[in-house]
């Protein structure tokens, strides 16, 4: 059984703090790693799709790194703002699975206090 | 451009009844996926359409679930007869055919089976 683990489960930070969280996934049979941002009652929104070991992607104040050999990815948020409050989901895709056959973690719920 | 739309947003039914969920993907997206999130757990893959064909239905829980995508446009997911354990949020997503494309999610249908 393939598992994707995210830590921490939840995180409370003050506005302006920088933060990061972890996604651990199987290190074998890797094809891609997705990050999504999900606000309750809204649609999960894609942040990054990462495929190459050592890849680093950036979108505004959010960035992510990927280590496929050891099976982890970090998501960083620089200078957190209240509007960053959401659940951040990572999802693993292995070889052999269809394009959308993603294995999701349970997410890290971020709360940013003004 | 319209995003992925799902209908209804909420559905409350009794055990044994039938419910049909609908998903309209982004125009031009040949890939369409269904996922489910049971409360407190991770989002789980149900199935994947490429146009009107089922590419991967390995995540469908049992034969009470029937998904269709006639004409390769919108899709329906029917649960008949519904059981208590079917309660959860059903997400639909769509994407272009490029295997590294991100997924665009709808905001989900909250299904409650009483």
**What average pLDDT does chain A have?**
94
Burial B28-64 (b: 16+ CB within 10 A, else e): ebebbbbbbbeeeebbbbbbbbbeeeebbeebbeeee
The helix or strand, by DSSP H or E, that contains position A88, with its residue range, turns out to be strand A86-94
Contacts of B42 in chain A (CB under 8 A): 4, 104-107
How far away is chain A from the Cα of B2, in angstroms, using its nearest Cα?
13
Q: Which pLDDT value is given to residue A96?
A: 75
Partner residue facing A106 (CB), from B42, B93, B103: B42
Test B42 with A105 for CB contact under 8 angstroms: yes
Tens digit of pLDDT for each residue in A50-98?
999 999 999 999 999 999 999 999 999 999 999 999 999 999 998 877 7
Contacts of A50 in chain B (CB under 8 A): none
| Sheet of B75-79, strands arranged across | B5-7, B19-24, B75-79, B65-68
Test A100 with B91 for CB contact under 8 angstroms: no
Tens digit of pLDDT for each residue in B19-29?
999 999 999 99
How far away is chain B from the Cα of A61, in angstroms, using its nearest Cα?
20
CA of B33: how far to CAs of A93, B17, B49, B102, B105, in Å? 14, 24, 6, 12, 9
Contacts of B97 in chain A (CB under 8 A): 99
Q: Which pLDDT value is given to residue A18?
A: 96
Looking at residues A23-41, what average pLDDT do you find?
Answer: 93
- What residues contact A41, with CB distance under 8 A and at least 6 apart? B107
Q: Which pLDDT value is given to residue B1?
A: 62
Look at residue A65 and give its three-state secondary structure.
strand
Q: Give A18: exposed, middle or buried? Use CB within 10 Å, 0-12, 13-18, 19+.
A: exposed
Looking at residues A9-37, what average pLDDT do you find?
Answer: 95
Tens digit of pLDDT for each residue in B65-101?
999 998 889 999 999 999 999 999 999 999 998 878 8
């Amino acid at each position: 059984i393939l598992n994707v683990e995210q830590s921490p489960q939840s995180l409370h930070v003050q506005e302006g703090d920088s933060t990061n969280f972890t996604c651990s996934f199987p290190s074998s049979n890797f094809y891609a790693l997705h990050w999504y941002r999900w606000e309750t009652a809204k649609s999960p929104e894609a942040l990054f799709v990462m495929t190459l070991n050592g890849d680093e992607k950036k979108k505004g104040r959010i960035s992510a790194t990927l280590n496929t050999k050891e099976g982890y990815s970090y998501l960083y948020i620089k200078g957190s703002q209240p509007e960053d409050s959401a659940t951040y989901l990572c999802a693993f895709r292995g070889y052999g699975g269809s394009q959308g056959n993603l294995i999701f973690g349970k997410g890290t719920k971020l709360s940013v206090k003004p | 451009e319209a995003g992925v739309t799902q209908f209804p947003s909420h559905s409350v039914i009794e055990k044994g009844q039938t419910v049909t969920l609908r998903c309209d993907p982004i125009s031009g997206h040949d890939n369409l996926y269904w996922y489910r999130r049971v409360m407190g757990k991770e989002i789980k893959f149900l199935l994947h359409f490429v146009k009107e064909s089922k590419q991967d239905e390995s995540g469908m829980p049992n034969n009470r679930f029937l998904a269709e995508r006639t004409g390769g446009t919108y899709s329906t997911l029917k649960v008949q007869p519904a059981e208590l354990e079917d309660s959860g949020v059903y997400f639909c997503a769509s994407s272009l055919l490029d295997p590294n494309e991100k997924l665009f999610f709808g905001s989900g249908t909250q299904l409650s089976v009483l």
